[in-house]
Amino acid sequence: MMGKKNASKQPIVIMHGLFGSKNNWNSLSKAIHQQTDRKVITIDARNHGDSPHSADMSYKHMAKDVVQLIGDLGFEKSVLVGHSMGGSTMMYTALHYPELVEKLIVVDMSPVSISPQLMEIKKVFHCMRTLNVSGCPTLTKARKMAEEQLANVLKPLSLRQFLTMNLVETDNGKYKWRVNLPVLEQNFESQIAVFPRIESKVYRGPTLFIGGANSDYIKIEDQPKIMKLFPSSQFIYISGANHWVHADKPTEFLKIAVNFINKP
């Protein structure tokens, strides 16, 4: 959490994607705070980062977590920002609790279709589950070994490094995944990869979808269906960016997000 509260401006709450953590947003959230003069809160989703592990893993549960946090912090309304799984969580929150949301930014996630790239993650789960880093003398070496084993299913080095940040050392010198891998894998296909079917819910507040031009998560042909759920939507695609839009093109992402947040 950062920044003195500007009483006239609602705070910004940011949630990362699958396998991520609030730390992914450290530098961007500082820049967003400086350029919007709003308090910025980055959160770890359940079963991720420093948040507790739970057997319940659905957008309904994650949205309730966001609502409870907003209530605990005493915010009347917030600007919600989410990437990927975090984007779906924030969409679900806006649709079910619109009175708590001033604006919504969804980063490379669609509420109406599933990217074929997303289903590739099933292979990543298998690789993470069967990973063998026993006998590594240091965490750095263990992460390097994990990176090499993940190369079979995940080509980009940056994504493998992102995943291996979840590898942590236990008290007895062994290594484990910080994310709740069994629960995430068990719920991935039914609860995380698909956005729940929403009956008669609409979020009419200002909404911005920021997609990567090289990603297939938000298809242009899906926009009319998305507009039925979020009628005040606009769509911007950042060229040269893949699914991790904010990491691929941080300068462009920052400018677009800040302009949208600062617009009266």
SS3 106: strand
- Residue 260 to residue 212: CA distance in whole angstroms: 17
Quickly count: other Cβ atoms within 10 Å of residue 59's Cβ.
22
pTM (global) more than 0.85: yes
pLDDT on residue 156? 86
pLDDT at residue 91 tops 60 = yes
pLDDT in tens, 129-179: 999 998 889 999 999 999 999 998 888 888 899 999 999 998 888 899 999
- Residue 160 to residue 176: CA distance in whole angstroms: 16
pLDDT at residue 1 tops 70 = no
pLDDT on residue 48? 98
Q: Name the least confident of 52-56, 118-122, 127-131.
A: 118-122
